[in-house]
Amino acid sequence: MASPKTLEIVTATVPVLEEHGVAITTVFYRNMFNEHPELLDIFNETNQKLGRQQTALATTVLAAAKHLDKLATLLPQVTQISHKHRALQILPEHYPIVGKHLIGAIKEVLGEAATDDIITAWTEAYDEIASVFIQIEHGMYKEAMWQGFAPFKVTEKVAAATDIAAFTVVPVNDNEDSNQDIDLSKLKLTAGQYITVKTDPADSDHIALRHYSLYSASTETGIQFAVRRDNRNEHHGLVSNYMHDQLEVGDTVLLSAPAGDFALNQNLVQQNEIPLVLMSAGVGVTPVLSMLEAQVLANPKRPIVWVYACQNATHHAFSAQVNELLEQAERVEKHIFYFESGQLLDAAWLETLPKPADIYVCGSMPFMESMIDGLVGLDHGVDSVHYEPFGPKMSLGG
């Protein structure tokens, strides 16, 4: 536990660091990468260029500092971030490096205002926060289905929509560089999880890591995940374009073990009173598709409300698979929104959803914010609204 003096100083100085948070983390990343360029192989280069990672780090550290005397209250958020860290292979030895340069950045940005007492207090605070992450991630590494990044061969690649490619991969167990064999039949995937792909794109000087959601928890044919092509601007699409344009059937790709805590509430799967609401937009359909599959296999009698939004019919992902699963369920509502046709999935429409309901939402950050704000505003309890945003979360690394 942090000392009373540290708690007092950190609490008093959080507003100052909030004011300068992004400036501090910008300096932090610059200095850390100058001294440790190898870490550019872990941190998302695109999010760095767009400033997203700086904001995420500042938000994470400041949120934890505010709750330094009761970090247990942040356990769900810490666990969510730790899943990302384990998937990216962030290790205990990385935390002192981060701490050194984060504290150094505070001193550099605040100048003379960063007294010795303030620096000592924030050093202790960071060490306390880091120890929590390290402890949780230690357990995750032990429970991972395999260690590090293992080679998988692409056995199928199909278009799930005009901008989404669906991949099926199987482990390569005769690889000299790997000392572990992966038995597909023994893998227990959870609907809602994601895998992490490690690539070495020709257009980058660094290794690039990206998370992609599983669209099925079945391993009968292999591990199945989907990738949306991202061409929004010059900073996007480094890995997704490589996956779409260059990775083909027969090629090998490196994956770390599935991760993530976006999962169905198992206490409700077998009951038939509280409906399951699955809401997604674009490629956000992938994890909720796997949840739909899991629910139908476990209990097709439960009421299901399927809600999907995308640009138009050509961008409508996994339509056939969704329809096939919905036909197996006994009580179904299906709602499709095409933005180009003026169909709006907005707060007014959310009023039509049943209450109570067990709700799962996935999509872009703007979509997530709109849906969650609308649902909470309609008195759907925070415990009944589960979500997985596609974009950078608060994180010490990824």
Banded model confidence at residue 365, pLDDT cuts 50, 70, 90: confident
For the segment 235-256, what is each residue's pLDDT rounded down to a tens digit?
Answer: 467 889 999 999 999 999 999 9
Phi and psi angles of residue 361, each rounded to the nearest 5 degrees, phi first = -130, 135
Global pTM reads 0.90
Chain CA centroid to CA 295, Å: 22
Span 73-98, average pLDDT: 90
Q: Is the pLDDT of residue 48 over 60?
A: no
Average pLDDT, the chain: 89
Amino acid identity at 205: D
Q: What is the pLDDT of residue 232?
A: 65
- Kindly list the domain boundaries of the chain, sorted by start residue: 4-143, 149-259, 276-395
Q: What is the pLDDT of residue 65?
A: 85
For the segment 273-320, what is each residue's pLDDT rounded down to a tens digit?
Answer: 999 999 999 999 999 999 999 999 999 999 999 999 999 999 999 999
Each as own residue / partner, the long-range contacts of residues 270-273 (CB below 8 Å, 24 or more positions apart, any chain) are 270/298, 270/299, 270/302, 271/302, 272/299, 272/301, 272/302, 272/303
From residue 259, give the alpha-carbon distance in Å to each of 143, 199, 214, 307. 10, 18, 10, 25
Q: Which of 29, 45, 95, 293 is catalytic?
A: 95
Options 3.30.420.40, 3.40.50.2300, 3.40.50.80, 3.10.20.600; CATH of 276-395 = 3.40.50.80
Span 12-23, average pLDDT: 90
338 is catalytic: no
Banded model confidence at residue 392, pLDDT cuts 50, 70, 90: very low
The Cα 247–Cα 167 span in angstroms is 10
Q: Which of 45, 124, 128, 137 is catalytic?
A: 137
Percent over 90 (pLDDT), the chain: 70
Among 62-66, 210-214, 343-347, 394-398, the range with the most confident prediction by mean pLDDT is 210-214
HSE toward the beta carbon, residue 188, CA cutoff 13 A: 2
The Cα 90–Cα 383 span in angstroms is 29
137 is catalytic: yes
User: What CATH superfamily classification does 4-143 receive?
Assistant: Globins (1.10.490.10)
DSSP state of 34: H
Q: Is the pLDDT of residue 397 over 50?
A: no
The domain over range 149-259 is classified in CATH as 3.10.450.50: no
Which helix (H) or strand (E) covers residue 254, if one does? strand 252-259
Give the number of other Cβ atoms within 10 Å of residue 373's Cβ.
12
Q: Is the pLDDT of residue 395 over 60?
A: no
The Cα 22–Cα 57 span in angstroms is 8
For the segment 191-228, what is each residue's pLDDT rounded down to a tens digit?
Answer: 999 999 999 877 677 788 899 999 999 999 999 999 99
HSE toward the beta carbon, residue 129, CA cutoff 13 A: 30
User: Token pair 């701490």 is at which residue?
Assistant: 99
Is the Cβ–Cβ distance between 396 and 369 less than 8 Å? Answer: no
Q: What is the pLDDT of residue 282?
A: 95
Q: Name the nearest CA neighbour of 126 among 104, 91, 99, 106.
A: 99
Q: What is the pLDDT of residue 76?
A: 82
Q: What is the pLDDT of residue 46?
A: 60
